[in-house]
Amino acid sequence: MRPGFGGAAIPVGIDVQVESIDSISEVNMDFTMTLYLRHYWKDERLAFPSHSNVSRTFDGRLVKKMWVPDVFFVHSKRSFIHDTTMENIMIRVYPDGSILYSVRITVTALCSMDFSSFPLDTQNCSLELESYAYNENDLMLYWKNGNDSLRTDEMVLSQFFIKKFHPSSGLAFYSSTGWYNRLYINFILRRHIFFFMLQTYFPTMLMVLLSWVSFWIDRRAVPARVSLGITTVLTMSTIITGVSSSMPQVSYVKAVDIYLWTSFLFVFLSVIEYAAVNYCSTLEEMRRLKRGKLPTSYNASKAMAFDGCFHDSDIELTPTTLQNPEDPPTEGTRLRRQRSVQENVDLLLSNSYLIDSYSRMAFPLSYLLFNTIYWSMYSS
């Protein structure tokens, strides 16, 4: 039975020294911590006379013969007391009946994580201690030395930076048994971004940049541009799959998802851009053939482009390909007046090389704008 059974609640002081945080799992949403848990209370039944006021120290074999607080870890998945070479339990009894009970424990507990800003996120986790059988009328848990009751060894984590450790306390209510004192070991974790920059962000940026190379490849080089576009699309798909497999299946969008899928969209649009260029080139050639602007011996597979980049030397342009100064301006002629939307569309259809020219500026500027907005939102 507890000391003072049937009387007032017995106060039990707690202090904790965190030895290490062994692991943090995003997939299982838990953490593993090794700590020294120390209990302080007074049991006058164990008082003994002493002229020197020297305490007596015992190992874990005495625990089964005396009352000790039944503290447990709320939301714990697994826990154990270290037993090499003996159980890591120490009991120290003072002449006035004051008792120190220390135990070395490793516990794996739940941490409800929010991944909406992953991997630029900050996680708040806590380890909760509570008496299992004794409510606040029988046992009062408190931090023995206030905020100084929680001490930590110097710890370095691979993916996180520990911003803060602090204790707190509160009450927990159970409808069938009443109110219980509960103590909290709170810690704030800030994720290191460098690993994800190397493994996710930099490769993604390079794939997007690589997809833009096709804008400088001649539009007649179909195998080169199609192969480049498909390769970058498949590589982006692999990166997205790899990141998703290492994360829990949450029902909301993460910050890394926004970046990856937006980058994937840029890569996909670069493929669609070439499809548009190829289609417009076909229409342009057909129109010129119908209007007699190209010689009947013209071979489209030889001429690389009519965009000023390069003309095949075997092509002899007939006089009909040159515009008469007295003729009205054709669709591709630069006009002084502002063109309408329809005229701009017709200009692109008749001069498909302009799509590549505009894409060389539009895609990089759009991606730069996206990165500016993205990093300003999630880095703050």
CATH code for position 155: 2.70.170.10
Out of 176, 191, 206, pick the residue that ends a domain. Answer: 191
In this structure, the dihedral spanned by the alpha carbons of residues 292, 295, 299 and 303, taken in order and rounded to 10 degrees, is: -90
Tens of each residue's pLDDT in the chain, 380 residues: 888 888 899 999 999 999 999 999 988 999 999 999 999 999 999 998 888 888 999 988 888 889 999 999 999 999 999 998 889 999 999 999 999 999 999 999 999 999 999 999 999 999 999 999 999 999 999 999 998 999 988 888 888 999 889 999 999 999 999 999 999 999 999 999 999 999 999 999 999 999 999 999 887 888 888 999 999 999 999 999 998 888 888 889 999 999 999 999 999 999 999 888 888 777 777 777 777 655 555 554 444 444 434 444 444 444 444 344 445 555 555 545 566 655 555 555 556 677 888 889 999 999 999 999 999 999 87
Q: Supply the range of the domain harboring residue 239.
A: 193-287+344-379
Q: pLDDT at position 280, please?
A: 79
At 161-202, the pLDDT tens digits run 998 899 999 999 999 999 999 999 999 999 999 999 999 999
At 336-355, the pLDDT tens digits run 556 665 555 555 555 667 78
Q: Give yes or no: residues 271 and 211 share one domain.
A: yes
Q: Give yes or no: residues 113 and 95 share one domain.
A: yes
Q: How far apart are CA 370 and CA 81, in angstroms?
A: 51
Residue with token string 């489209």? 300
Q: What is the pTM of this model?
A: 0.75
Q: pLDDT at position 349, please?
A: 56
Q: Give yes or no: residues 102 and 36 share one domain.
A: yes
Q: Give yes or no: residues 25 and 61 share one domain.
A: yes
Structure-token pair, residue 66: 């005396």
Alpha carbon of 373 to those of 52, 202, 250, 307, 368: distances in Å?
71, 17, 24, 35, 9
Q: pLDDT at position 342, please?
A: 56
Q: Does a structural domain hold residue 316?
A: no
Domain with residue 280: its CATH number is 1.20.58.390
Q: pLDDT at position 338, please?
A: 62
Q: pLDDT at position 101, please?
A: 96
Query: Helices (H) and strands (E) in the chain — how many of each?
Result: 6, 12
- Residues shown for the chain: 380
Q: Give yes or no: residues 219 and 73 share one domain.
A: no
Domain count, the chain: 2
Q: How far apart are CA 134 and CA 177, in angstroms?
A: 9
Q: Which residues pair with 189 in a beta bridge?
A: 123, 162
Please report the DSSP string for 320-350 in residue order. GGSPPTTSPP-TTS--SSPPPHHHHHHHHHH
